[in-house]
Structure 1
Amino acid sequence: MLNAVRNIPWRQLGYVCLGLIALVGIGMLMGLVKKKDTAQICASMKVVVEGKETFIDQHDISDLVNTKFGNIVGKPLNEIPIDQIEKALMELPYVSSAEIYTDMDGILQVIVQQREVVLRIVNKVGKEYYIDTKGAKVPVTLKYVPHVLVANGNIREGYEKPLDTIQTQLVTDLVAIVEHVKDDPLWSNQIVQLYVDDKQDIEIIPRVGTQPLIIGSADKLAEKLARLEIFYKNILPKVGADAYEKVNVKYDGQIICERRDGWILDSLQIKLKMK
């Protein structure tokens, strides 16, 4: 009998008992928390709007919630339709995500992430809209004008409803150009506007120089921009800023410069060594 008692693994048995006591304690605590949540009243609503844009603010979100769902503050937490509120916020064209939860103090936390736009389109009939980083169309608002490039001219693609996707290769190319140059120290500063001519060629309107720069499309964009750099560094200083009416780099291996004094074309055949 004494040997049997001695052989009992008391240390392991103690660990098991402590574990059981801890589980019971956690269960009781969870029950108390759940009971508290059921009876707890919403003390306040805190709205956080994240993102670099300011299409909407905290007041817009608070007004929407209170208008569609009544005054949230003072309601029992278990009666607040969190899923429905999130769905309503996601229907706003300027919101990319929404998260709502309640904390231990009874505060309803509302976190909204805004969409980030990269380009403003003004099509051939004057219809305006933005394109965001996910390729969705975002409506223009008078409340806020983001600092992004504008593309106009002979752009046929229109705007039917918020968050429509891009429908044409032309607008896809315009967005691709913006995405390509946004982190480039030279071209992010040099390009002030994009223009689409009657031939559906994309033109860069530069900050330095008076001549539009014809690139055609976003195909082989890096090579085209490299040829334009050659024009600015090696050609423009020699002929002057007003020597050419247009500069065209849409064709492989060429810089075609159209003179202002007539139909004379300077076609410069070049070979680029990409480093």
Structure 2
Amino acid sequence: MLRKFDYSWLLLKRSLWLILPIAGIGMAESKLGQQRCTNLVVSIQGDSGTRFLNQMDVQMLLTENGGDPLIGARLNDVALHDLENRVRRNKLIKKCQVFRDLKGNIVVEVEQEKPLARWINTSENGEMRNTSGYYINHEGVFFPLSESYSARTLLVSGAYFNNPQKLRSEKGAQVLELLRFLNTDPFWKAQVTQLNVDKDGEIDLMTLLGDQRVELGMAEDFESKFKKLRIFYDKVLSSDWSRYKRISVKFQDQIVCE
């Protein structure tokens, strides 16, 4: 009988160790839910040099331009998921998470889109037609320009980019990989100022030193083409960068210059 009593008491103690923390959390959650929002804390993550949006822009998205104020609202009445959806509607924002802290703040963590390239509308001779265009991110997704900030990134042009779906094709994946390469290789990132892709996928590059047009051809096997071009730069052009205005590496095992 004593053993049975001891066993029951031990089971009760173990149950209390489980129940009390859960009850405490529930009471804390209930108390927090009755609190009113004291502040909006906005954190914008991503490339520190890119500022498509500032904290006030995010606050205006959260409150529907001030039409749905959050300061003073009971936290239980605030739909955090709806706030996340409000912020995500802005195409300059890649990710958003909204939560509340123990101080009664609504905390918003935002990650901006990071541009890989910027498409510009040009004429056939390469002149910019207007300021219209869009950015392309690292996944090949197009997103709009910002009214308050212009990112310094690779310029791209050409009819190939008129159809957003092309970058999601097998051939488009190679073009996208080329854009990533030009953003990560220090030499070519500094040297290539603009990339043009025609409707068939033929690629031309404009360079900084020598102001040359480089005919790359199709995007496949681009790394070997750049290796060949780099050797040509070092062996031939390093003594006179303006020697040629057109260089073609589109054909296998040869370089054509004019």
Which range, TM-score by smaller chain? 0.7 to 0.9
Contact map agreement 2:212 2:244 (CA 8 A) in 1: yes
Task: Give the equivalent residue in structure 2 for 1:185.
Answer: 186
What CA distance in whole angstroms lies between the structure 1 residues aligned with 2:200 and 2:30? 70
Contact map agreement 1:120 1:149 (CA 8 A) in 2: yes
Pick one of 8, 21, 27 that aligns with 2:22. Answer: 27
Task: Map Cα deviations across residues 35-57 of structure 1 (whole Å, 9 max, x no partner).
Answer: 31332111111111111121111
Contact map agreement 2:210 2:245 (CA 8 A) in 1: no
Contact map agreement 1:203 1:212 (CA 8 A) in 2: yes
Pick one of 66, 77, 80 that aligns with 2:78. Answer: 80
1:64 equivalent to 2:64? Answer no
What CA distance in whole angstroms lies between the structure 2 residues aligned with 1:202 and 1:58? 40
Task: Give the equivalent residue in structure 2 for 1:51.
Answer: 46
Task: Map Cα deviations across residues 178-211 of structure 1 (whole Å, 9 max, x no partner).
Answer: 2013221221222122234798632222222232
Larger-gyration structure (1/2)? 1
SS in 1 for 2:63: helix
1:181-260 correspondence to structure 2 within 5 Å:
181-196=182-197, 201-237=202-238, 240-258=240-258
What CA distance in whole angstroms lies between the structure 1 residues aligned with 2:80 and 2:23? 26
SS in 2 for 1:244: coil
Q: CA deviation at 1:34?
A: 3.2
1:135 equivalent to 2:140? Answer yes
Task: Give the equivalent residue in structure 2 for 1:93.
Answer: 91
What CA distance in whole angstroms lies between the structure 2 residues aligned with 1:195 and 1:158? 12
Contact map agreement 1:42 1:76 (CA 8 A) in 2: yes
Q: CA deviation at 1:241?
A: 2.7
Contact map agreement 2:154 2:183 (CA 8 A) in 1: no
Counterpart code for 2:37:
C
Which ranges in structure 1 are unaligned for 5 or more consecutive residues? 160-164, 259-275
Q: CA deviation at 1:167?
A: 3.0
What CA distance in whole angstroms lies between the structure 2 residues aligned with 1:8 and 1:67? 63
1:155 equivalent to 2:153? Answer no
Q: CA deviation at 1:116?
A: 0.6
What CA distance in whole angstroms lies between the structure 2 residues aligned with 1:251 and 1:33? 70
Counterpart code for 1:28:
A
RMSD: 2.7
Task: Give the equivalent residue in structure 2 for 1:271.
Answer: none
Q: CA deviation at 1:98?
A: 0.9
Deviates more, 1:16-25 or 1:167-176: 167-176
Deviates more, 1:183-192 or 1:143-152: 183-192
Contact map agreement 2:160 2:200 (CA 8 A) in 1: no
SS in 1 for 2:159: coil
Instruction: Give the number of equivalent residue pairs.
Output: 246
Label 1:63 to 1:27 Cα distance change in 2 as closer, same or farther (>3 A).
Answer: same
SS in 2 for 1:18: helix
Identity %: 22
Task: Map Cα deviations across residues 15-69 of structure 1 (whole Å, 9 max, x no partner).
Answer: 5343222123123313322331332111111111111121111100111222366
Q: CA deviation at 1:175?
A: 3.3
Task: Give the equivalent residue in structure 2 for 1:265.
Answer: none
What CA distance in whole angstroms lies between the structure 1 residues aligned with 2:96 and 2:215? 42
- When normalised by structure 1's length, the TM-score is 0.79
SS in 1 for 2:257: strand
Contact map agreement 1:119 1:175 (CA 8 A) in 2: no
Task: Give the equivalent residue in structure 2 for 1:16.
Answer: 11
Counterpart code for 1:65:
L
Question: With CA pairs under 8 Å and 6+ residues apart, which has the higher RCO, 1 or 2?
Answer: 2
Label 1:224 to 1:16 Cα distance change in 2 as closer, same or farther (>3 A).
Answer: same
Task: Give the equivalent residue in structure 1 for 2:126.
Answer: none
